[in-house]
Structure 1
Amino acid sequence: MAAEASIAPREPQDLDPASAARLSSWLRNYRTLPGVPDELFDVMRRPRPDWLRFLAGFAEYNHDEARNRFALATRHIRDTGVSYRIYGEENERSWPLNPLPLILGHREWAQIAEGVEQRANLIEMILQDVYGAGRLVDSGALPAAALSGSPDFIRALRGVRPPGGRQMQIYAADLGRGPDGRWWVLDDRTQAPSGGGYALENRLVLSRAYPALYNAMNVQRLAPFFDGMRQGLAASASRSDPRICLLTPGPFSETYFEQAHLARYLGFLLVEGADLVARDGKVYVRTIAGLKRADVILRRVDADFLDPLELNGASRLGTPGILEAIRAGGVAMVNMPGTGVMESKALLGFLPKLCRQVLGEGLKLPNIATWWCGQAAEADRVHHNLESLVIGPAFNGVGDGSPPKARLFADLSSAERDDLRARLRDRPGDFVGQEVVRLSTMPVLRDNLLKAAPFVLRVYAAWTADGFKIMPGGFCRTSDRTDARAISMGDEACTADVWVIDDQPVERVTLLAAKDEVAVRRKLGHLPSRAADNLYWLGRYVERAEATLRLARSLCTSLMASESATHTSGETLAGLQKLLIDWGALDETALGRGSLEAACDTLRDQKAYGSVIYLVRAARRTAASMRERLSADFWALLLNLETELAETDRTPNSEAEALQQIESALQILAALSGLAQENMIRVAGWRFLDMGRRIERGINACRMARTFATETSTTDDLDLLLDLVDSQITYRSRYLVGLALVPVRDMVVLDSFNTRSLAFQVEALKDHLDALPALLDDGMLEEPDRILLPLATEVETSDAVHLDDAKILEFERTLMRLSGAIADRYFLQGASAVPTIKLASMG
């Protein structure tokens, strides 16, 4: 492999012969689409200078090296679970990324940024008027029906001054290069623009794949934009040290990963609607320490779903009363509900005139020509030019009177045309007509050849103290279809990083603040109740999967014809099988199909709620709900474990193969446990993860002891029990006389030095509860402590000689009651969510 430091943009004539041949082949064989602008070549079919510099440097990687570098970098995508979801699909898809970026020179980018900034300011001023004085409607510059016809127009917020003073702080524009070579606006994104987190991921992957090339090309950094966005959001709050939340629709959102990544990168709390409580004109986050004030909410939930009291009553994504809190000025919402009205296609045709009226200048980035059929003259024009226009809905989310998406009239069938004509006559205001615009193309790498692919570029603007700041880059989507007129992630699209090339070296900037700007803090942090709930159950699922694997391992060794198998038949095997059946890991019918089938079912039966694959998938789903709190290594190990268990071609053909797979899975779970113990900071999140594991391990120890350490147990039973709790070595070094019931019971249940005993789990749980915050400052014990402290005392003072099945069962049931009490106390829901004393005194 060539030294990375040697790969840097250079002139084509300076390349070695092999690299020059690759570059020449790429340029010679690159075919642009007739009549469509392209990013690599200008109108004279000359390579643009920045593209030529990049490709010259890229050509110095031979084919295998370039492929390996990109493959190594994209492992990050798989290992960290970078994904998206198609609406209506249950499973996520892995994130698709092109090896080549979209490259834009700084002069051209300056024009794009200037146009996007102008458009963001224009839309903000229109929104201020629409929800304020209403002069544009009164003057006739903006038809009232073009606003009120949109379900994104929220009448309840007219006259409400936005907390922070702005309707829209985050804006994005979807751009394409028009037939005249200029950049055109295809769509405005004013409600909750997505994709910024994916732009960060794309940059991370490509900068890792070609680090020297990336640095030598003087690519402008993204960090200053996000730092400005964060400061702008903080400035919209009424408190100096605000709590900023990112409101997500939840893990089934199409872009949930991106939301979680953005929250983690910016240091925001990722919350769902059920995590919030609107009360007394303010919004609070449900945390393990009670309700904590939310000052700013960056929303990714559409406005209609924000408040089931005033908007969509069927919504389960929002928070009742949140609109009243906005009216009272108790929370700053970014963007304000109702800003989505500016995404309506009906308004596109009015923006050129509005720009001249409001800003006194023309649009610097033109629109696609659009005619709203709610006006008689425009409707007639659309009707007479139907064959050459795209017909689409005027508003987002309208009813049956409009097509699901824009369609070229000429592409419709005869019946569809007749139906559309009838709908246009009945409800013309629901439709717009637009010029047909084919997207420009950019190079993508396929089979070591450059291919022209249509693309859409999304550019972001964020409000700061210095006005709108434009992200130097953006979110680029490419299509495999050469006639694409619009691109979404559901249309076999791919993505690309966007490199804005400066003409001088770029300063390396991060989100690190100056050392004297941030006060040092050491505290548990205000963990949201939902996150605590998920971490707790993640710990329980992982621990239960490990216990089931240990049972499956014993099942395999019991069924193998070897001298080491000490519990091959009789009551011991029967007890082992019964425990697996009781845990839901094994169906009773599986026992009659043979030993190997039983072992495989324990591992891979996706319908058995106690099987290993079922538990691992439950852990993965739980982890997916809080990706912002888990490291990339943790997520990668969990995905690897699920993949190994789910691969049908790895179904074992013998007990020995099954045993090997079990050992491999146990090693992964050991690595997960090690990451949690050594890499997670000891704050509230780690405590709930560990509490879940401790309660599950304590319950399992009791169940195993009640099964294999009874008055009628054999030496095989006791030997198996020591295997299950990983205590063989310790027992044999401590007791030289051999296996006996009382010392085995003591080691499994009462020995506080044994990390797998009930006593050890109880002591760990006591430490966790002592460290967690109290809800009320009245000095009284809370319910989890009322349950745990007597249990800890009894376990500590019990004598193994007098320990019996009834007492062990009592311990087990107490742990289960403790689990319920922890949920009732910390996973606050509904009326159980009450403010803390400190918060209540603050008002």
Structure 2
Amino acid sequence: MAADTAAAARNKAGAEPGAAARLREWLRGYESLPGTPDELFDPKGRPRDHWLDFLGHFAAFPAGDPGNRFGLSARHLRDSGASYRAGGETAERTWPLNPLPLILAQSEWDEISAGVEQRARLMEGILQDVYGEGRLVADGHLPAAALTGSRDYLRAMRGVAPPGGRFTHLYAADLGRGPDGRWWVLGDRTQAPSGAGYALENRLIVSRAFPNLYNTMNVHRLAPFFDAHRRGLAAAADRSDPRICLLTPGKFSETYFEQAHLARYLGFLLVEGDDLVARDGKVYVRTIAGLKRADVILRRVDADFIDPLELNNASRLGTPGMLEAIRAGGVTVLNMPGSGVLESRALMGFLPRLCRQVLGEELRMPHVATWWCGQPTEQALVQSRLDELAIAPAFNTPGGDGILSASRLVSEMSPDERQALVERMRDRPADFVGQEVVRLSTMPVLRNDRLEPAPFVLRVFAAATPDGIRVMPGGFCRTSDRADVRALSIGEGARTADVWVIGNKPVERMTLIASAEDVQVRRIMGHLPSRAADNLCWLGRYLERSEMTLRVVRSLCTSSIAAEAAARGSGESFDNLRTLLQEWGAIGDGVAADDAVATASAALLDTAAWGSVICNVRAAMRTASSMRERLSADFWALLAGIENGLATAETLTSEAEVLRLVNRALQTMASLSGLAQENMNRVAGWRFLDIGRRIERGITTCRLTRMLAHDEATTDDLDLLLDLNDSQITYRARYLIGLALTAVRDLVMLDPFNTRSLAFQLNTLREHLAVLPTLHEDGMMEEPSRILLSLSADVDTEEARKLTEDKAHRFERALMRFSNAVADRYFLQGASAVPTVKLMGLA
């Protein structure tokens, strides 16, 4: 029977020799874990039809083709910087993804969807009462201590009517298939559910790898859910065209990539706490055009950290005055602060009763049996079954002052740990719950061309929309490489999988493209957050520093390649280059003074030298990682490629090896510049990226001119200056008389037609400032424009034959003052920062 079904599936996908045999081998070698439900087989041990259909198509691919397809698509994960951080880690990990999705039939999904939808309604109803009338506690349906024992219960939210009318906009439930074959809830997520963005990324990768298979099997699309999700957020605002922000803890968040990906996909403004300011009962985004109102904030920051003024005063992730703005109805924050109280395990045992009381319905989807030790009867039961149950913190904090940070079996504890836990449970029983041991079901994963079972957890999302609660047709699935089905965490040995819900009929295709009637055409220049402008400017500066250091290293190592440059390998020119690298922090004092290769290698690869190329590139990556939602995957891939090339470089022993590495890096830098010039929209973000490069290039040009085009400069010095300024071809095409000091100075410093000259940088900077927003009401010139106009006038009227080192130094200092003025004007940072000019445009 299985072979006939596999043959039919193979015929659908196209005949491929060995497909049926491969499928039979997969099924024959698949050994599910004893006593554990498995997704591939039904309770009678027969392969489920939708899995047979999928595996039949999958087996029909030529040998090795699925791995190649998935490998090419998964490369997108690395190129786009898709990553996560495990708890307590600082380094990012590449996002781990299985090629096989979790597959669910429509009939089964309908049951899951109905259960999650009911649970989302229940959570909202409980929150409305807990922070409203409080009848559930007053009438004895819920112990007050089960709420107030949680740090996520916020007394400051009592009596506050949530703007938009809802406490929860996005709800998630972690599910597993129980021993009886039914789906069970393992945990509720009401604080700030994560994973929806990763589910979107997983779908992109798997559907790209197997597009025909994805379409043939009638997989439900995710786009309609996200469209409804976005419309639901917009409906929560009090303006028809709201500004929606996604509040992130920042780039060191464990799921920062997901937050950036989701913001980019939905068109939200990704902001951090310092990007916002609460004023007069409203919340505003600090932008380069002044304060712009934030209507809706989808938060990914725990409630305890969103307002250091009223909550955790040590928080650097929030915005002072946020709660006051919420109480005044000036901003809609979703999920509402305080909603995380429903994630407490202490509440799980009360949910069946609460469902009958709040909704008048029986709870459709069961959850793990839980006994809260804050009640005498339940405490006695847990103590009597201590070796059978899992003991866990009752609230979202470590139980018993840190004795227990996660669910554990007492039978697996050491004698000392057990004794400490027993004593703490006797002293503070309300801090703990006892739970039936969670046993996860398994799903097939592909390892070494074999199907093997892996325990998994499925997170399903439900969003409030203008049309009611809508459940994502799919979700975020985590699998484990360990055979232990009792627990799962996204750490060592854990991976993720796409989730396919198979429709009974062809699925209508949909994207997030809106109709023309729903869109107001706009061209926005000024709604760039100040932090993003700051980061983009510094990204440009780091890239320019990296490129110029590469050029210096290349000039340092041309002695054995070009005869006319042999003098650079020794003598005054070599000393000048080495001095330059030392001033830039690219090499330390321990590098041999007469060894060009050692000097070049250190300038490229020394991670202890703050100005080395690899340090500058990594600084650029750190800066870029703070605004991934604004950079394309191609940009990130090129930048990561430079870093990887430097990080994996072996010891450099010759000038030729140095030059190969430098030339590859410079070519990639050129690609980055071209990508920025041709692919980025000419809005404020691109302009600040270019402003950073122009400032850095102008400063470097002044320094090189002072060092190499002084009054006593030699032809080697002038030739080196032209080389570093990338102006050799221009000079030789223009002058046939050889190198002349005045001509070189003019070309490098004063020629407005040379794209590498100081004059060209200043003209470009003036063009950028001319179109950036201004803040003064009186029409007076702002400080950056004033400094730049004066500097440009000096450079425009300067004569090359009168250009001295002192004048070049004066130009350099003026550029530095301009850089500081740009920072003061546009890069206002910090919750307590005070603008130096009046902020306008409170819209």
TM range (shorter): over 0.9
Determine the structure 2 residue equivalent to 1:342. 342
Determine the structure 1 residue equivalent to 2:552. 551
Determine the structure 1 residue equivalent to 2:508. 507
Deviations 1:326-374 (A, max 9, x none): 0000000000000000000000000011111211221111010000000
Which sits farther off after the overlay, 561-570 or 794-803?
561-570
Task: Note the residue ranges of structure 2 that are not aligned, 5 or more in a row.
Answer: 1-6
Equivalence map 1:53-132=2 (5 Å): 53-132=53-132
The residue type equivalent to 1:565 in the other structure is: A
Which sits farther off after the overlay, 130-139 or 393-402?
393-402
Deviations 1:737-791 (A, max 9, x none): 1001000000010000000100000000000001100012210111101100011
Contact 1:291 1:834 in 2 (8 A): no
> Aligned pair 1:755/2:755, yes or no?
yes
Alpha-carbon separation, structure 2, partners of 1:12 and 1:202: 25
TM-score normalised over the length of structure 2: 0.97
Deviations 1:384-424 (A, max 9, x none): 01111000000012461540111011111222111111111
Alpha-carbon separation, structure 2, partners of 1:432 and 1:482: 26
Q: Go from structure 1 to structure 2 and tell me whether the alpha carbon gap of 1:13 and 1:298 turns closer, same or farther (over 3 Å shift).
A: closer
Q: Go from structure 1 to structure 2 and tell me whether the alpha carbon gap of 1:731 and 1:834 turns closer, same or farther (over 3 Å shift).
A: closer
**TM-superposed deviation, 1:595:** 2.2
SS of the residue corresponding to residue 176 of structure 2 reads: strand
SS of the residue corresponding to residue 567 of structure 1 reads: helix
**TM-superposed deviation, 1:834:** 8.4
Contact 1:459 1:473 in 2 (8 A): yes
Determine the structure 2 residue equivalent to 1:210. 210
Q: Go from structure 1 to structure 2 and tell me whether the alpha carbon gap of 1:15 and 1:360 turns closer, same or farther (over 3 Å shift).
A: farther
> Aligned pair 1:621/2:636, yes or no?
no
The residue type equivalent to 2:120 in the other structure is: A
Equivalence map 1:140-539=2 (5 Å): 140-398=140-398, 400=401, 402-539=403-540
The residue type equivalent to 2:237 in the other structure is: A
**TM-superposed deviation, 1:557:** 1.0
Determine the structure 2 residue equivalent to 1:3. none
Deviations 1:639-693 (A, max 9, x none): 0000000014x33221111011101000000000000000000000000000000
Q: Go from structure 1 to structure 2 and tell me whether the alpha carbon gap of 1:732 and 1:438 turns closer, same or farther (over 3 Å shift).
A: same
The residue type equivalent to 1:492 in the other structure is: G
Contact 1:558 1:573 in 2 (8 A): no
Deviations 1:448-500 (A, max 9, x none): 00000000000000000111100000000000111132322124210000000
The residue type equivalent to 1:190 in the other structure is: T
Which sits farther off after the overlay, 35-44 or 14-23?
14-23
Determine the structure 2 residue equivalent to 1:839. 841
Contact 1:306 1:315 in 2 (8 A): yes
Determine the structure 1 residue equivalent to 2:4. none
Alpha-carbon separation, structure 2, partners of 1:559 and 1:591: 19
> Aligned pair 1:642/2:643, yes or no?
yes
> Aligned pair 1:686/2:709, yes or no?
no
Determine the structure 1 residue equivalent to 2:3. none
Determine the structure 2 residue equivalent to 1:597. 598
Alpha-carbon separation, structure 1, partners of 2:142 and 2:352: 12
Alpha-carbon separation, structure 2, partners of 1:461 and 1:793: 61
Contact 2:559 2:566 in 1 (8 A): yes
Determine the structure 1 residue equivalent to 2:674. 674
Alpha-carbon separation, structure 1, partners of 2:404 and 2:492: 18
Determine the structure 1 residue equivalent to 2:699. 699
Contact 2:82 2:257 in 1 (8 A): yes
SS of the residue corresponding to residue 484 of structure 1 reads: coil
Deviations 1:105-141 (A, max 9, x none): 0110010000000000001000000000000000110
Contact 2:346 2:372 in 1 (8 A): yes
Alpha-carbon separation, structure 2, partners of 1:632 and 1:819: 29
Contact 1:8 1:57 in 2 (8 A): no
Equivalence map 1:800-815=2 (5 Å): 800-815=800-815
Determine the structure 1 residue equivalent to 2:45. 45
Q: Go from structure 1 to structure 2 and tell me whether the alpha carbon gap of 1:90 and 1:603 turns closer, same or farther (over 3 Å shift).
A: same
Alpha-carbon separation, structure 2, partners of 1:664 and 1:107: 55
**TM-superposed deviation, 1:78:** 0.6
The residue type equivalent to 1:832 in the other structure is: V
Alpha-carbon separation, structure 2, partners of 1:48 and 1:443: 12
Which sits farther off after the overlay, 561-570 or 23-32?
561-570
Alpha-carbon separation, structure 2, partners of 1:420 and 1:755: 70
SS of the residue corresponding to residue 250 of structure 1 reads: coil
Deviations 1:529-570 (A, max 9, x none): 000000000000000100000000011114668455343322
Contact 1:247 1:300 in 2 (8 A): yes
**TM-superposed deviation, 1:16:** 4.7
Contact 1:175 1:187 in 2 (8 A): yes
**TM-superposed deviation, 1:832:** 3.0
The residue type equivalent to 2:595 in the other structure is: G
The residue type equivalent to 1:422 in the other structure is: E
Contact 2:526 2:772 in 1 (8 A): no
**TM-superposed deviation, 1:523:** 2.7
**TM-superposed deviation, 1:66:** 1.0
Alpha-carbon separation, structure 1, partners of 2:65 and 2:288: 50
Q: Go from structure 1 to structure 2 and tell me whether the alpha carbon gap of 1:11 and 1:188 turns closer, same or farther (over 3 Å shift).
A: farther
Alpha-carbon separation, structure 2, partners of 1:372 and 1:141: 14
**TM-superposed deviation, 1:9:** 4.5
Alpha-carbon separation, structure 2, partners of 1:766 and 1:14: 62
Determine the structure 1 residue equivalent to 2:711. 711
Which sits farther off after the overlay, 13-22 or 294-303?
13-22
Determine the structure 1 residue equivalent to 2:577. 576
Alpha-carbon separation, structure 1, partners of 2:340 and 2:404: 20
Which sits farther off after the overlay, 208-217 or 481-490?
481-490
Contact 2:246 2:300 in 1 (8 A): yes
Alpha-carbon separation, structure 1, partners of 2:784 and 2:315: 34
Contact 1:401 1:423 in 2 (8 A): no
Determine the structure 1 residue equivalent to 2:741. 741
Determine the structure 1 residue equivalent to 2:661. 661
Contact 2:570 2:594 in 1 (8 A): no
Alpha-carbon separation, structure 2, partners of 1:805 and 1:776: 37
Q: Go from structure 1 to structure 2 and tell me whether the alpha carbon gap of 1:818 and 1:835 turns closer, same or farther (over 3 Å shift).
A: closer
The residue type equivalent to 2:626 in the other structure is: S
Alpha-carbon separation, structure 2, partners of 1:121 and 1:818: 56
SS of the residue corresponding to residue 702 of structure 1 reads: helix
Deviations 1:143-179 (A, max 9, x none): 0000000000000110000010101010000000000
Alpha-carbon separation, structure 2, partners of 1:640 and 1:8: 45
The residue type equivalent to 1:613 in the other structure is: I
Q: Go from structure 1 to structure 2 and tell me whether the alpha carbon gap of 1:110 and 1:704 turns closer, same or farther (over 3 Å shift).
A: same
Contact 1:291 1:835 in 2 (8 A): no
Which sits farther off after the overlay, 73-82 or 353-362?
353-362
Contact 1:11 1:53 in 2 (8 A): no
TM-score normalised over the length of structure 1: 0.97
SS of the residue corresponding to residue 38 of structure 1 reads: coil
Q: Percent identity of the aligned residues? A: 66
Q: Cα RMSD (Å) of the superposition? A: 1.6
The residue type equivalent to 1:77 in the other structure is: L
SS of the residue corresponding to residue 566 of structure 2 reads: coil
SS of the residue corresponding to residue 381 of structure 2 reads: helix
SS of the residue corresponding to residue 132 of structure 2 reads: coil
Alpha-carbon separation, structure 2, partners of 1:192 and 1:8: 45
Alpha-carbon separation, structure 1, partners of 2:701 and 2:780: 31
Contact 2:567 2:573 in 1 (8 A): no
Q: Go from structure 1 to structure 2 and tell me whether the alpha carbon gap of 1:571 and 1:222 turns closer, same or farther (over 3 Å shift).
A: same
Determine the structure 2 residue equivalent to 1:4. none
